[in-house]
Amino acid sequence: MVAVKKGPATTEDTNKAASERKTTKPDMTRRVTSAEMARHCVEGDVWVAVQGKVYDVTPWLPHHPGGDLPLLSLAGQDVTDAFVAYHPASAWRVLDRYRVATLSDYAVSDVSSDYRRLVAEFAKAGLFDRKGHGCAASLCAMAALLAGAVWLVLATTSVAAHMAAAVMLGFLWMQSGFLGHDSGHYVVMRTGPLNRAVQLVAGNCVAGISIGWWKRNHNAHHIACNSLDHDPDVQHMPLFAVSPRLFASLTSAFYRRAMRFDAAARLLVSYQHWTFYPVMCVARVNLFAQSLLLLLVVSDADARVPGRLMELAGVAVFWVWYPWLVSRLPGGATERAAFVLLSFAVTGIQHVQFCLNHFSAGTYVGRPRGDDWFQKQTRGTLDVACPPWMDWFHGGLQFQVEHHLFPRLPRCHLRRVAPMVRDLCRKHGLPYQRCGFWEANARTLRDAAMQAREVTAAGGGGGSGPKPKNLVWEAVNTHG
């Protein structure tokens, strides 16, 4: 994985910006327009505005806990909504040292005003601080699943028992994914160091996935939700195309390469409604590869990874215990291959869940804007309806709309705030997309079939054909 530096600055731009910072003291009476601020949007010169105050955050880029990509993606814009979504009140102390001006034409839309009011209400009620006992429950469940799987492998000779152990490992990785996700968004433990330990254990040691890679990828996803060229979570060429606009071979701002719609992509996309679930069964392989690429190949100059050596050590732990456990199976290569595939396939349920939340939602092309946070998140996400007793299965991500709007909000509160979000969407005429798990699967497959049909209707060229009369029939008969 290679991350992009949004809008690379020329040497002249960078030197000029650096010179201005050295020679000019901050003038709190200085007033700038949005158009003037928008010119400060290159790597060596990054300005943002929060609640009408303008900040030159260029020196902060290497130190930003969320990485440089969120700041680079929104450079030159009013980022108030994204800021209050991601940061506690203590972050203001960091911002103050970078203030350079005041925005003269600062204005707040009705949607943003209502959104910020909700954030303030949640903060006043202590919802961001009350995390419940989800972390403790997840850690206990993970320990039980791991212990049970190890015991079944080492203490029994039954193939059925060994396959049950593989299923347990699959659910272990699902729970570790949910816990790693939570700990990446907010502090699930009492202290920062303990939270970091949970991240490394849940992500690196147990699942073999770098938490540093995940945070960099996931922050870019949240900031540019469903942008076809900026959100890495909807960039799966040549295997999948979530929109026909990807047929134009867009360039990924995250991976810094063209997502070419060549002959191989045409072939694979034309069958994507058939290959979706099989690919999800082995999707972990991609996460392993992306993690190792970031930790071993990508330099700090391209992607800063805090605690890189510690991350590598954690991933190494996984590649010791999991292959060792597989090697203890007595049935030879066939049983071991079945064990690995089954454990990957079970945790593939989680990969499907991730896709359901976004693949059938709205997409767009271009850089994310800072003034449409609420609109962007609601249009690009889908909630999956489920009863409370199934929350463990979805890990809180069934409330995807709420999570994207309030990423710091612990999952135990998402069900509580959902009606408030629905009311706000209704008030402003914005979509609030929600359906059951099986319907979400059907919608995702239907849309996949539609993209595949566009390819085949144009003879593999990605053109647009006539609209189908029966979506199920078209989905099954796109080929043959």
Pair 97, 208 in one domain: no
Structure confidence by residue, pLDDT tens digits, 194-243:
889 999 999 999 999 999 999 999 999 999 999 999 999 999 999 999 99
CA atoms within 13 A on the CB side of 283: 25
Pair 335, 187 in one domain: yes
Q: Say how many domains are in the chain.
A: 2
Pair 276, 337 in one domain: yes
Task: Point out the domain boundary residue: 315, 334, 368.
Answer: 368
Is residue 243 one of the residues assigned to a domain? yes
C-alpha pair distances (Å), 400 with each of 187, 241, 262, 405: 19, 21, 33, 9
| pLDDT more than 70, % of the chain | 89
Pair 204, 91 in one domain: no
Among the ranges given (134-143, 240-249, 464-473), the one the predictor scored with the smallest mean pLDDT: 464-473
Pair 219, 100 in one domain: no
Per-residue model confidence (pLDDT) at position 459: 60
Among the ranges given (134-138, 173-177, 387-391, 448-452), the one the predictor scored with the smallest mean pLDDT: 448-452
Pair 222, 364 in one domain: yes
The pLDDT of residue 286 is above 70: yes
Per-residue model confidence (pLDDT) at position 92: 85
Query: At a CB cut-off of 8 Å and minimum separation 6, what does 146 contact?
Result: 168, 169, 172, 206
Pair 85, 223 in one domain: no
Among the ranges given (52-56, 90-94, 383-387, 398-402), the one the predictor scored with the smallest mean pLDDT: 90-94
Structure confidence by residue, pLDDT tens digits, 408-427:
999 999 999 999 999 999 99
Pair 172, 270 in one domain: yes
Task: Point out the domain boundary residue: 344, 368, 392.
Answer: 368
Tally of CB atoms within 10 A around 457:
17
Per-residue model confidence (pLDDT) at position 13: 47
In one letter, which amino acid is 346? V
Pair 85, 174 in one domain: no
pTM as predicted: 0.87
Pair 163, 199 in one domain: yes
What rounded mean pLDDT belongs to the chain? 87
Is residue 2 one of the residues assigned to a domain? no
Is residue 395 one of the residues assigned to a domain? no
Pair 207, 346 in one domain: yes
Is residue 455 one of the residues assigned to a domain? no
Pair 261, 341 in one domain: yes
Range of the domain at 99: 26-107
Is residue 425 one of the residues assigned to a domain? no
Per-residue model confidence (pLDDT) at position 300: 62
Is residue 255 one of the residues assigned to a domain? yes
CATH number, residue 30? 3.10.120.10
Per-residue model confidence (pLDDT) at position 134: 81
Among the ranges given (77-81, 112-116, 130-134, 368-372), the one the predictor scored with the smallest mean pLDDT: 130-134
Per-residue model confidence (pLDDT) at position 400: 95
Q: DSSP per residue over 429-478, as a string?
A: T----EEEHHHHHHHHHHHHHHHHHHHHHTTTS----PPPS-HHHHHHSS
* Span 136-151, average pLDDT: 94
Structure confidence by residue, pLDDT tens digits, 332-349:
999 999 999 999 999 999
Task: Point out the domain boundary residue: 347, 368, 389.
Answer: 368
Among the ranges given (14-23, 50-59, 403-412), the one the predictor scored with the smallest mean pLDDT: 14-23
